[in-house]
Chains A and B, each alone.
Chain A
Amino acid sequence: MSDAITAVMTGNEAAATAARLARVQVVAAYPITPQSPVVETLCRWVEEGELEAEFVRVESEHSALTVCIAAASIGARTFTATSANGLAYMNEQIWWAAGARLPLVLCCANRAMAAPWNVLNDQQDSMSVRDAGWVQLYCRDNQEILDTTLQAYRLAESLQVPVMVCYDGFLLSHTVAPVAIPSEAAVDEFLPRGKALPVLDLSDPRNVGPVTLADPRPDSRGVLCHGYMEFRALHHRALGAALQAIPEVDRAFAGTFGRSWGGLTFGHLLEDAEVALVAAGSLAAELSVVAEALRGEGIRAGVLGIRAYRPFPREAVRAALAGKRLCQVFDKAVSYGHEGPICSDLRGALAGVAGAPPVFGAIVGLGGRDVTTATLAGAVRRAVADLVAGVRDRPEEWVDLRL
């Protein structure tokens, strides 16, 4: 059996369980709601001897990610988790970890950014670091959190890029659901140890991450070595390679554990749908219910869930949306002064594609504003009415706004 038992647990416990099963060697984290239970759980397991790891109780998120960066540089498998302002406080190191091409895994329990203070869910925190060069995977339920975190290690260590596993704060982080826990033996087989690359070694001393000029420079033997731009191009290509690797790892995971999460994207009632509803995270799961209900009233709706937001699955969304009459995107984040980030990226992916549907954007659920199926269905009905009335482009709708 690849799964040992099924237990009822929160999303945070699912993330911690995955880190334990991955046999992480160094954990460093700083408390922040709603992530804190992840590292509290891991700390307890380390102190009780259930997890053989170093737990570094750092004084800030900046230091949490720094500890992971340094420990990974010396060849240890690491874990950290954060949310919102914690992720923002890490920002310098988010970029450093990616540029240093370290195979880190970070769980982000998505929460609204301050000011004003708000501890509840939206996806502004992780969306704001989409450009830093991490793979970003969004989860729709607690089982996917556990499974994706395991997949994240395999991805990170094969591509040498860090992976951020994002899940909605409170909606998943603090909500219990049955989760199948894989057996240690099966995880060990899926994630063989010793794959991490030690770059700091006395017998082969290196200067890691030094000043690197714009143009290539010769080394002491006269061999021309990369300039800054070449390193960045290789990093970009590694993210591009993730477009193949993410589905491959998901397939391998399904082969061992019997569960596939769709790789880059997932669909629900999507094939014959005329109206595609697009979102990331638990919102996509909720949209499945909405799509089913809308079909009962004659709107042929389906869901395109964005699992991989970085790299952005351009080809996959083009294929999935070909022939649709309307694409309605729901973002839980805003690029202020422009529009929702998924909406933007989707418009970019579909630009110039013959027969691509119009893309309507909607902003929902900021700062934990409740997003009900009725709210979502209403937004879709309005979008469809606009489409029928001949509208092909419109400003994004802030759903359930009460100004």
Chain B
Amino acid sequence: MTKLIDLPTQEHLLPGNRACAGCALGIGLRSILKALEGKVVMTVPASCLTVFGGMYPTTSVTVPWLNVAFPATAAAAAGLAAGLRATGRAGEMTVLAMAGDGGTADIGLQGLSGAAERNDDFIYVCYDNEAYMNTGTQRSGSTPARARTTTTTLGKRENPKDVPRIMEAHGVPYVASTSAVYPDDVYDKLVKARGMTGLRYVHMSTPCPSGWAFDPKDSVRLGQAAVDAGLVVLYEIERGAFRLTGRSRVLARRGALKPVKEYLQAQGRFQGLSPEEVAEVQGWVDRRWAEYLRRDAEGPSA
């Protein structure tokens, strides 16, 4: 595993963008572009990420970047990959599709499923800030239960879609779950994905101070707390073999997650939960964690 101090120092994201203070997406995007060494063409739908892309005629990103319509990310990446092959340039750069959780779990899911079934040759990163943050915090299919958003003012009733699992069911060669606040984990997963062909899916948790309602200085701490409490789990599924990675691997060895209560209480969107509601979230986390532990224990032969 690459150590933080050994990550490449060359940046492909320039200083100066209009992202919110404390947005973890900037950390994640920097790690991703480092892993791809800037040899990448990106395609991006309407989302917070376009804020990093900037407003015409200025940009803070130093790689080719194709903006596309909201549902279009995966198909655009398929088109870029096909276009590069057709013009004899497939080896020159990696195609990176990068969309938010709404653009992935909701409006973009059909196109992503099509591309995954065809096993088109690109890396897809879903950065998951757990709601439609760029339009002002409306609930998405990836919003956790009990979170308050502008369209779930009493708290969301449903658990989020498990998009990595949906992608795994398509039989793509690589599926990973990571968190933007662990640059080393993001970097290693992208490096591994870069070395493979076919559709590689990386789901990246991305704490959002404005949407989750916490102090921007705490983004990294909160992202780490999400992993410690098991709401976010770091793992990879390489050609069907499941493996916990990074902090989640450490937690599995130690045998205990932290209770979700502290993590929930640190965010405005979860204020006022009853003990029963907290227990409900805890139950969901515990069931998922047990499943991850079981799969991890089965090892590479799984």
- Map CB proximity to B onto A189-212 as digits: 1 under 8 Å, 0 otherwise: 000000000101110011111111
Most buried by B among A62, A69, A212: A69
Q: How far is the CB of B122 from chain A (nearest CB, A)?
A: 10
Q: Decide if B79 touches A92 in the complex (CB within 8 Å).
A: no
Q: How far is the CB of B94 from chain A (nearest CB, A)?
A: 11
B113: chain A residues at CB < 8 Å are 59
Q: Decide if A210 touches B53 in the complex (CB within 8 Å).
A: yes
A106 to B56: give the CA distance in the assembly, Å: 29
Q: Decide if B118 touches A209 in the complex (CB within 8 Å).
A: no
A243 to B59: give the CA distance in the assembly, Å: 36
A225 located at the interface, meaning its Cβ lies under 8 Å from any Cβ of chain B in the complex: yes
A239 located at the interface, meaning its Cβ lies under 8 Å from any Cβ of chain B in the complex: no
B75: chain A residues at CB < 8 Å are 58, 62-64, 66-67, 70
8 Å CB contact of A76 from B55, B66, B82: B82
For chain A residues 33-61, which have a beta carbon within 8 Å of chain B?
Answer: 53-54, 56-60
Contacts known (A63-B78, A71-B79, A75-B83); A200 close to B55, Cβ less than 8 A: no
- Map CB proximity to B onto A210-233 as digits: 1 under 8 Å, 0 otherwise: 111100011110000110000000
- Map CB proximity to A onto B76-88 as digits: 1 under 8 Å, 0 otherwise: 1111101111110
Contacts known (A56-B79, A73-B80); A213 close to B65, Cβ less than 8 A: no
Q: Decide if B64 touches A202 in the complex (CB within 8 Å).
A: yes
B282 located at the interface, meaning its Cβ lies under 8 Å from any Cβ of chain A in the complex: no
A297 to B86: give the CA distance in the assembly, Å: 59
Q: Decide if A26 touches B86 in the complex (CB within 8 Å).
A: yes
A96 located at the interface, meaning its Cβ lies under 8 Å from any Cβ of chain B in the complex: yes
Q: Decide if B114 touches A63 in the complex (CB within 8 Å).
A: yes
A202: chain B residues at CB < 8 Å are 38-39, 41, 63-64, 92-93
8 Å CB contact of A209 from B61, B67, B78: B67
Contacts known (A69-B68, A200-B64, A206-B64); A76 close to B78, Cβ less than 8 A: no
A201 to B93: give the CA distance in the assembly, Å: 10
- Map CB proximity to A onto B26-64 as digits: 1 under 8 Å, 0 otherwise: 000000000000110101000000100111111101111
Q: Decide if A74 touches B80 in the complex (CB within 8 Å).
A: yes
A68 located at the interface, meaning its Cβ lies under 8 Å from any Cβ of chain B in the complex: yes
Q: How far is the CB of B87 from chain A (nearest CB, A)?
A: 5
- Map CB proximity to B onto A356-386 as digits: 1 under 8 Å, 0 otherwise: 0000000000000000000000000000000
8 Å CB contact of B55 from A69, A198, A201, A217: A217
8 Å CB contact of B57 from A59, A73, A225: A225
B199 located at the interface, meaning its Cβ lies under 8 Å from any Cβ of chain A in the complex: no
Q: Decide if A70 touches B50 in the complex (CB within 8 Å).
A: no
- Map CB proximity to B onto A288-310 as digits: 1 under 8 Å, 0 otherwise: 00000000000000000000000
8 Å CB contact of A67 from B57, B76, B92: B76
B55: chain A residues at CB < 8 Å are 210-213, 217
Which partner residue on chain B sits nearest A96 by CB separation? B69
A67: chain B residues at CB < 8 Å are 75-76, 78-79, 82
A63: chain B residues at CB < 8 Å are 72, 74-75, 78, 110-111, 114
Q: Decide if A58 touches B78 in the complex (CB within 8 Å).
A: yes
B53: chain A residues at CB < 8 Å are 207, 210-211
Q: Decide if B83 touches A26 in the complex (CB within 8 Å).
A: yes
8 Å CB contact of B83 from A57, A72, A201: A72
Q: Decide if A70 touches B58 in the complex (CB within 8 Å).
A: no
Which partner residue on chain B sits nearest A57 by CB separation? B118
- Map CB proximity to A onto B174-187 as digits: 1 under 8 Å, 0 otherwise: 00000000000000
Contacts known (A63-B75, A76-B86, A212-B55); A71 close to B80, Cβ less than 8 A: yes
A209 to B63: give the CA distance in the assembly, Å: 14
B89: chain A residues at CB < 8 Å are 74
- We find that the number of chain A residues with CB closer than 8 angstroms to chain B is 46
A196 to B169: give the CA distance in the assembly, Å: 38
8 Å CB contact of B86 from A53, A73, A213, A218: A53
Q: Decide if B64 touches A208 in the complex (CB within 8 Å).
A: yes
A205 to B63: give the CA distance in the assembly, Å: 5
Q: Decide if B117 touches A59 in the complex (CB within 8 Å).
A: yes
Q: Decide if B76 touches A75 in the complex (CB within 8 Å).
A: no
Q: Decide if A74 touches B41 in the complex (CB within 8 Å).
A: yes
8 Å CB contact of A28 from B38, B65, B79, B80: B79
B65: chain A residues at CB < 8 Å are 205-208, 210
A208 to B57: give the CA distance in the assembly, Å: 10
Q: Decide if B43 touches A70 in the complex (CB within 8 Å).
A: yes
Q: Decide if A70 touches B117 in the complex (CB within 8 Å).
A: no
Contacts known (A26-B86, A72-B83, A202-B41); A66 close to B72, Cβ less than 8 A: yes
B84: chain A residues at CB < 8 Å are 74
A93 located at the interface, meaning its Cβ lies under 8 Å from any Cβ of chain B in the complex: yes
A25 located at the interface, meaning its Cβ lies under 8 Å from any Cβ of chain B in the complex: yes
B207 located at the interface, meaning its Cβ lies under 8 Å from any Cβ of chain A in the complex: no
A56: chain B residues at CB < 8 Å are 78-79, 82, 118, 120
Q: Decide if A70 touches B111 in the complex (CB within 8 Å).
A: no
A198 to B68: give the CA distance in the assembly, Å: 16
Among all A-B residue pairs, the 10 with the closest Cβ atoms: A70-B79, A59-B114, A71-B83, A63-B75, A67-B79, A74-B83, A25-B86, A66-B75, A209-B67, A54-B82
A interface list, Cβ under 8 A from B: 25-26, 28, 53-54, 56-60, 62-64, 66-76, 92-93, 96, 198, 200-202, 205-213, 217-220, 225-226
B interface list, Cβ under 8 A from A: 38-39, 41, 43, 50, 53-59, 61-69, 71-72, 74-80, 82-87, 89, 92-93, 110-111, 113-114, 117-118, 120
A selection of 22 A-B contacts at a CB cut-off of 8 Å is A28-B79, A54-B85, A56-B78, A59-B113, A63-B78, A64-B75, A66-B69, A67-B82, A70-B66, A74-B83, A74-B84, A74-B89, A205-B64, A207-B67, A209-B66, A209-B67, A209-B68, A210-B50, A211-B54, A211-B55, A212-B56, A217-B57
